[in-house]
């Protein structure tokens, strides 16, 4: 029996057309190398001529097109009929589609995202409360990097179905800060003060101009909306610096910023708690406090 197996194995080895299979392997390896070189060449060519989003799309397209061409050539060299290969690929695609409907939905959604382009690589977007920079747009999902350096993967289907806010689509943004002042203060004076802060702030733009609106009369304050424009990449710095400047300016000018007060109430059948401020000479001494507690 071992001799028969050895004879059969020897005959199998002898019948292998080594030249053809070496050619197949050579085509596969050559295809992978040329696909990588072509993708790198396209990346270098488009880096300064197109956006990062278009550069990534074209790089992947060129890579897979070149690789598929060489794979088809390798299959033909191996003796496979192209019609049979395409038929088997079609049947496999249908079977995989039924078996993984979620993945198919994400792939279709990814195509819509590539065509519609609601955002690009490098944009900062907000999806269902998650804010991050787009680092990759793939066929199944979009990858984000949050401000605290977390890696977030969002399926393409979710991006199609939900509300997406692109925070860096336009070069400038408007910030609206709510400022409350006491009723006794002069609104025109505060408005002039805020507009002067907008002119002095290094992040605030001269055009469009900043403005101040009276939005309502609150329980303890006159509510103002202070709006100014700044570059999209300076939002955090601009907001923080402006809020510090507003607080400092109102303090320097003696303008009151009211805040809610809390009253203690024990019910309709009891009198309100009496609160009285005592000077240091009227405060009881330690011995008297102990006597009161013992009594």
Answer with the one of 126, 141, 166 that is the final residue of a domain: 166
Domain membership flag for residue 233: yes
Give the pLDDT score at 97. Answer: 57
Q: Do 160 and 178 have their domain in common?
A: no
Residue 225 near residue 177, CB atoms below 8 Å: yes
Q: Do 133 and 85 have their domain in common?
A: no
Domain of 126 in residue numbering reads as 118-166
Q: Do 45 and 59 have their domain in common?
A: yes
Q: Do 146 and 178 have their domain in common?
A: no
Give the pLDDT score at 53. Answer: 63
Average pLDDT over residues 110-132: 86
- Whether the pLDDT of residue 9 is over 60: the answer is no
- Residue 239: CATH number of its domain: 3.30.70.100
87 vs 225, residue with greater confidence: 225
* pLDDT tens per residue across span 17-67: 556 667 778 878 888 888 888 888 888 887 776 766 667 777 777 888 888
Total-model pTM = 0.57
Question: pLDDT confidence of 1, banded at 50, 70, 90?
Answer: very low
Average pLDDT over residues 206-226: 91
* pLDDT tens per residue across span 159-209: 888 899 998 888 899 999 999 999 988 999 999 999 999 998 888 998 899
Average pLDDT over residues 238-247: 92
- Whether the pLDDT of residue 261 is over 50: the answer is yes
Give the pLDDT score at 210. Answer: 93
- Residue 126: CATH number of its domain: 2.30.30.60
Domain membership flag for residue 240: yes
Domain membership flag for residue 224: yes
Q: Do 213 and 243 have their domain in common?
A: yes
Average the pLDDT over each of 51-60, 140-149, 236-245 and give the range with the smallest value: 51-60
Average the pLDDT over each of 10-24, 124-138, 175-189, 208-222 and give the range with the smallest value: 10-24
Domain membership flag for residue 41: yes
Average the pLDDT over each of 68-72, 98-102, 209-213, 241-245 and give the range with the smallest value: 98-102
Answer with the one of 219, 236, 252 that is the final residue of a domain: 252
Q: What's the structural domain count of the chain?
A: 3
Domain membership flag for residue 154: yes
Give the pLDDT score at 154. Answer: 92
């Amino acid at each position: 029996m071992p001799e028969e197996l050895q004879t059969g194995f020897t005959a199998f080895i002898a019948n292998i057309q080594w030249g053809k299979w070496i050619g197949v392997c050579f085509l596969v390896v050559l295809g992978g190398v040329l696909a990588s070189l072509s993708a790198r060449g396209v990346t270098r060519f488009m880096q300064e001529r197109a956006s990062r989003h278009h550069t990534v799309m074209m790089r992947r397209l060129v890579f897979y097109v070149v690789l598929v061409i060489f794979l088809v050539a390798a299959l033909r060299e191996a003796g496979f009929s192209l019609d049979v290969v395409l038929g088997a690929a079609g049947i496999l695609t249908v079977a995989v589609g039924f078996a993984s409907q979620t993945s198919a939905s994400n792939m279709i959604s990814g195509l819509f995202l590539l065509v519609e382009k609601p955002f690009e690589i490098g944009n900062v977007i907000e999806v269902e409360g998650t804010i991050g920079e787009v680092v990759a747009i793939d066929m199944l999902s979009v990858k984000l990097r949050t401000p605290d350096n977390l890696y977030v993967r969002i399926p393409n289907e979710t991006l199609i179905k939900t509300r997406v806010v692109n925070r860096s689509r336009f070069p400038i943004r408007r910030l609206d800060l709510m400022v409350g002042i006491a009723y006794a203060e002069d609104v025109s004076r505060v408005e002039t003060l805020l507009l002067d802060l907008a002119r002095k702030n290094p992040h605030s733009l001269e055009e469009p101009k900043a403005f101040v609106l009276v939005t309502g009369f609150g329980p303890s304050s006159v509510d103002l909306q202070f709006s100014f424009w700044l570059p999209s990449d300076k939002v955090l710095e601009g907001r923080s610096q402006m809020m510090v400047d507003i607080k400092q300016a109102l303090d320097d000018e003696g303008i009151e910023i009211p805040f809610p007060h809390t009253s203690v109430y024990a019910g309709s059948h009891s009198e309100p708690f009496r609160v009285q401020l005592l000077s240091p000479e009227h405060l009881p001494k330690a011995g008297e406090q102990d006597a009161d507690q013992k009594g």
